[in-house]
Amino acid sequence: MQQDLSYRDLFDLANDAILITSAETGRILDANRQAEALFGYTREELSNKNLRDLLHADEPDRVEQFERQLATSGCGCGMTADLPYLAGDGRRLVLNVSCSVQQISGTNVVTRICRDVTRERELEGELSRHATRMEQECDEKQRQLLESQTQLMQAEKMAALGSLVAGVAHEINTPLGSVNSNNDIFALTFQRMRDFIRSHPPADRADAEKELADILSIVDEAIQTNRMACERIVKIVRSLRNFVRLDEADRKMADIHDGIESTLILVAHELKRRITVVKEFGNIPEIECYPNQLNQVFMNLLVNAAQAIEAEGSIRIRTWRENDSIRIAISDDGKGIPRELHSKVFEPGFTTKKAGLGTGLGLSICMKIVQNHEGRIDLESDVGRGTTFTVVLPIRSRAKATSCETPATHTAHN
């Protein structure tokens, strides 16, 4: 009797709700005081119920699977799970239930220790939903940021394009002037031919053919001039068209030298006749990149170099391969950048130029483009010794190369 009283005392003093149920039928055989408080029934009321009367109906498959595994686990085995239960007042409870099968007086019974984790799981659910919302908001903010960056960079490109228009127009007008001039030559030449034919009878054919050949040589020369002029116009238009394009969707293999040559056509007016461009192109392979974005970087660096040279001078462009990367160094013999400003030149909004010559975004955009290519830009400069910007680019995307081994465009001028 004393042993029974001690068991009952411990049973009722337990911090968790405890149910004793039949392993075969699920009938509730006993319950402690915490079970009465948790489910809202007296011990007698619980003793008249089956376990399934207390189970919530929203997850029947999971509960059934748990009970089936428990029934086949055998005596002495234990199982734990979070399961949905129903309180007497209709509240849904989430209980962490630890079950063990035991044999008492020849009958298999299940001891169920139930801990109420309803609030904990609600908080976990709220936290999970909040984390999901935060992740979605973060993704949306990142999308908006990328969109804003693209719009800003494109706006800067259009601003740069505005400063190029006059130069490009001049570059196009020069060959167009040759074409127009040759049109006048064509008209005069053909008029001479008509007059010549009328004034020379067939008897003078030999002399006529010689003079006619001289006239036709003038036409041939004009045709060649026109062809070269038209080719130059085509190159200028193609370079301009590529420059104003928006972000390329995918990387592709491209020849960096082609991009530099195309960019030099567009900035020719900026260089005018006062700056000599020295090209020292090395033997470099095509690289995987966004060509138009890199052309924007080259344009920015070339225009900056030209504007750093106050009178006459030179710009040197060197390319070479070093291990798994290529390097493009653009050097000028201009006034140079003080060492104390080196750490600031890539900051958005920083510029050393006079008002109206730069937005302070050009070099920061260049750095962003190069970093998106998994590369970097190095600066070497000092006052009175000129400036060299060296663009370092991987030949292949490192992220793509790693995945194979394992089973947005825009210009501004600082």
DSSP 351-389: --SPTTS--S-HHHHHHHHHHHTT-EEEEEE-TTS-EEE
Q: Which residues of the chain carry a pLDDT beneath 70?
A: 1-5, 75-76, 149, 151-171, 173, 197-198, 200-209, 239-249, 349-361, 399-414
Number of helical H runs and strand E runs in the chain: 12, 12
DSSP reduced 3-state for 138:
helix
CA distance 190 to 204: 20
Q: Cα–Cα–Cα angle for 182, 185, 191, nearest 5°?
A: 145
Residue 197 host element (H or E): helix 118-199
**Which pLDDT belongs to residue 2?**
46
Contact (CB, 8 A) for 319 and 327:
yes
Q: For the chain, give the longest Cα–Cα distance.
A: 153
Contact (CB, 8 A) for 275 and 382:
no
CA distance 237 to 255: 19
Identify any residues that bridge with 379 across adjacent strands, giving them in sequence order: 389
CA distance 128 to 136: 12
Identify any residues that bridge with 92 across adjacent strands, giving them in sequence order: 86
Six token digits for residue 272: 């005018």
CA distance 227 to 209: 26
Contact (CB, 8 A) for 309 and 274:
yes
Buried b (16+ CB within 10 A) or exposed e, 77-96: eeeeebbbbbbeeeeebbbb
**Which pLDDT belongs to residue 320?**
96
**Which pLDDT belongs to residue 394?**
95
Contact (CB, 8 A) for 27 and 50:
yes
**Which pLDDT belongs to residue 202?**
62
Contact (CB, 8 A) for 10 and 34:
no
Q: Residues near 47 by Cβ (< 8 Å), separated by ≥ 6?
A: 28, 29, 30, 31
DSSP reduced 3-state for 279:
strand
Q: What is the identity of the amino acid at 372? A: N
The torsion angle over the Cα atoms of residues 195, 196, 201 and 205, rounded to 10 degrees, is: -160
Burial class (CB in 10 A: 0-12, 13-18, 19+), 250: exposed
CA distance 31 to 52: 15
Phi, psi (rounded to 5 degrees) for 382: -155, 155
What angle do helix axes 118-199 and 291-308 make, rounded to 10 degrees?
Answer: 70
Q: Which DSSP state fits 57?
A: T
Q: Are strands 275-281 and 313-322 parallel, antiparallel or unpaired?
A: parallel
Q: How many CB atoms are located within 10 Å of the residue 6 CB?
A: 10
Q: How many CB atoms are located within 10 Å of the residue 10 CB?
A: 11
Q: Residues near 175 by Cβ (< 8 Å), separated by ≥ 6?
A: 228, 229, 230, 232, 233
Report the residue count for the chain: 414
Contact (CB, 8 A) for 242 and 277:
no
Burial class (CB in 10 A: 0-12, 13-18, 19+), 46: buried
Identify any residues that bridge with 378 across adjacent strands, giving them in sequence order: 390
